[in-house]
Structure 1
Amino acid sequence: MSAARHRGLWTIDDGRLHLAVAPNACRFDAGDAIVHWNTGPVDPHRYELVEPVVDVLAHLADCRPFDHALATWESAVRTGATTLPLLAQMPLRSAAARRVRAACGMLSDSGIESIPVARLARIGIRVRQQVRIDGHHVDGLIGERLVLQIDGYEFHRTAAQRGTDIAHDRRLALLGYTVLRLDYQQVLFGWDEVEAEIRHAMAAGLHLASARIR
């Protein structure tokens, strides 16, 4: 977490200092810091203060919830800090890191888009990302007609951008799509309600093209 923040990767801050220590290092009083005694796939040298990115991601997969870890992994790929082919070659020791690697992709524009996709996949709901509809890409599409649009603060903070988003939602509605637009707060702090709404929409058949034929 500490190294991910230092490198500018997308994280959900836990407010703690994380230290990576070799398994054979002497024990010490770390205070409130979280100590990772394992080693990553890349051996850091003795003068290296911040761990290599691949080691950062391996540690983070063991330390954080799956969806949070996935968001940081995809941030690392999106920003060019690492690549999917490079990650595929790494001998990851933990099952948690291998699981995150298997799910990691390049389609999320921000960490706040990675999290809903991971959470819905966990309960068997597949979200297709960056599907092009009406000349624009949508953040997520469930089935054929249920659109998820996810507003990350960095991309949707201006009034002009907000107006563009709403206009696109109207066009999608006229084309027969149901649009559920989520923001940062709803994804991170109101997920139970969001998930219930998505499941109810699917129960009503709003993700099916046939539901639009009356």
Structure 2
Amino acid sequence: MRLTAWLGERGGIGHRDDASDAGYAPSHVRAAIRAGAVRRIRAKWIALPSAPAELVTAAFSGGTVTCTTLARRRGWWVPPDADATVHLHLPSHESLRAENVHAHWAAPLGPRRPRVLEASVEDALSDAAQCHPLDQAVAIWESAIRVEATTLEALRSVRWRSAAARRCLEHVRPGAGSSLETVFHVRLSAWGVRLRMQVNLAGHDVDFLIGTHLIVQIDGWAHHSSSADRTRDIAHDAQLRLRGYTVLRFSYSQVIYGWDYVERTLAAAVSRGLHLAPTTQNRARI
């Protein structure tokens, strides 16, 4: 196999020691560099011209991609206002060598792996906890649990060093259907009212139940975009109202970009007692 094909199988970038282990002599690597087939990144890394820019930046800087940069690569939820800045986990002895980089200087939570360019899941979550507001950080954590081969129990066993990471862990809840729901839950959990997620009422789960009778549905695009979805939602809302519940629906855009409106609306509903059981004697049972 040619060196370029070997690099292609590794995502376009590789460590020279790994190339040597795969049977590519140093002279072979040097010849490929001279021919322009691959480029040298500092002393120990080689890359194809098509290699992902964030991995090249990590190799050049002596670090690993982390936080939202790793989240994008792994398919975790990323805050909608996160820009293209490359987040790198860097050892304390490395200086910042590249532009458009957000550096997370810290010792890794586990053993340092010298031939990788991606931070561990745990390091990336720790960095996200210190880099983003609590609601967004917790959404990243819960997304990672859904995507990766890890569990809340496994994260609880980690010796987190930062108070921010430990605070995230306190707010992570199993069963969140989406990162949008996580953001909502974290923001509202400080209110001190009873808040439950994914409660089955009138034959279907509702996203949130505040108190006993105020239902909040978060209409993310993935599950509420078609005519059939909308018809199902309307039918379910009607059944809930017949049972004495108040149903409020908010969109992704409202939760993420218009939280003041959402919060004012919910506060108004609670102030009117809509989260409590109606007083009518003919209240239908669920």
Normalising TM by the smaller chain, what interval? over 0.9
1:162 positional shift: 1.7
1:156 positional shift: 1.6
- Aligned equivalents of 1:168, 1:127: Cα separation in 2: 20
- Aligned equivalents of 1:56, 1:125: Cα separation in 2: 32
Q: Which consecutive segments of 4 or more residues in structure 1 shift more than 3 A?
A: 210-214
- Aligned equivalents of 1:204, 1:213: Cα separation in 2: 19
1:82 positional shift: 1.9
- Aligned equivalents of 2:128, 2:141: Cα separation in 1: 9
Q: What whole-Å deviation, never above 9, does each CA across 1:22-52 have from its counterpart, x for those lacking one?
A: 1222x13331210100134233411111111
User: Residues 211 and 190 of structure 1: is their aligned pair in 2 closer, same or farther, counting only changes over 3 Å?
Assistant: farther
Aligned residue for 1:92, secondary structure, equals coil
- Aligned equivalents of 2:97, 2:281: Cα separation in 1: 66
Give yes or no for contact 1:145–1:208 (8 Å, CA) kept in 2: yes
Letter in 2 for 1:60: A
Q: 1:129-148 maps to which residues of 2 (within 5 A)?
A: 129-148=197-216
User: Residues 153 and 40 of structure 1: is their aligned pair in 2 closer, same or farther, counting only changes over 3 Å?
Assistant: farther
Matched residue, 1:2: 69
Q: What whole-Å deviation, never above 9, does each CA across 1:34-91 have from its counterpart, x for those lacking one?
A: 0100134233411111111111111100000000000111111223442111101101
Residue identity over aligned pairs, in percent, reads 41
Q: 1:1-214 maps to which residues of 2 (within 5 A)?
A: 1-13=68-80, 14-15=82-83, 16-25=85-94, 27-211=95-279
Q: What whole-Å deviation, never above 9, does each CA across 1:151-178 have from its counterpart, x for those lacking one?
A: 1112222221121112111111111100
TM-score, with normalisation over the residues of structure 2?
0.71
Computing the radius of gyration from Cα coordinates, the structure with the larger value is 2
User: Residues 40 and 160 of structure 1: is their aligned pair in 2 closer, same or farther, counting only changes over 3 Å?
Assistant: farther
Q: What is the CA RMSD across the aligned residues, in angstroms?
A: 1.5
- Aligned equivalents of 2:279, 2:247: Cα separation in 1: 14
Q: Which has the higher contact order (CA 8 A, sep 6+)?
A: 1
- Aligned equivalents of 2:281, 2:188: Cα separation in 1: 27
Gap regions ≥5 residues in structure 2: 1-67
Gap regions ≥5 residues in structure 1: none
Give yes or no for contact 1:141–1:148 (8 Å, CA) kept in 2: yes
Letter in 2 for 1:176: G
- Aligned equivalents of 1:127, 1:75: Cα separation in 2: 21
